[in-house]
Amino acid sequence: MSLINQVDQDIKQAMLAKQADRLRGLRAIKSALLLARTEKGAAEELTEEAEIKVLQKLIKQRKESADIYKAQNREDLYGIEMEEMRVIEPYLPAQMSHQEIETYLKELIGRVGASSVKDMGKVMGAANKELAGKADGRTISEVVKQLLG
């Protein structure tokens, strides 16, 4: 079942169960997927990778907004963003732990032949392609800097 169909089913269940918080998050997912599908140059059906990128973008937006609301002592808005993040996260593939990322990147650095921070571009290009959806780009970058530095 495609992600959009799964989200539609979950929206129906949330409506029947009168789960307003869950419904808001699910509608945000559906809206973002429909928007991505109708963008200029987009394929009729989104690939799994494109769907993951859309969901990651939603999570990133929620995190950034939540951080801003937390800094401004707006607990009400902070709570809404965190609830939506909790609704979106289950639709993403399981994220790798910091240790798993580090182990994978050590192997990748050996494969690519990187030896200094100057080779970070080669490593990051390969890592972002291979770890798409499984790890956050910022985390990958930090670990690569640590290993090459």
Q: Where are the domains of the chain?
A: 3-91, 98-148
Q: Are 3 and 51 in contact (CB under 8 A)?
A: yes
What pLDDT score does 42 carry?
A: 66
State which amino acid sits at residue 100.
E
Which architecture characterizes domain 98-148 according to CATH?
Orthogonal Bundle (1.10)
Segment 74-112, tens digit of pLDDT: 999 999 999 999 999 998 888 888 888 888 888 888 888
pTM assigned to the model: 0.74
Neighbours of 120 (CB within 10 A): 18
Provide the pLDDT confidence category of residue 62 given band limits of 50, 70 and 90.
very high
Please tell me if the domain spanning 3-91 has the same topology as the one spanning 98-148.
no
Q: Count of residues for the chain?
A: 149
Q: How far is CA 67 from the centre of its chain?
A: 16
pLDDT digits (tens, 9 = 90+) for 10-50: 999 999 999 998 999 999 999 999 998 888 776 677 888 88
Asked if 69 and 78 touch (Cβ cutoff 8 Å), the reply is yes
CB 141 within 8 A of CB 124: yes
CATH of domain 3-91: 1.10.1510.10
The two tokens of residue 98 are 């910091």
Average pLDDT value for the chain: 87
Nearest Cα residue to 98 out of 147, 50, 148, 149? 147
More confident residue, 135 or 25: 25
CB atoms within 10 A of CB 104: 18
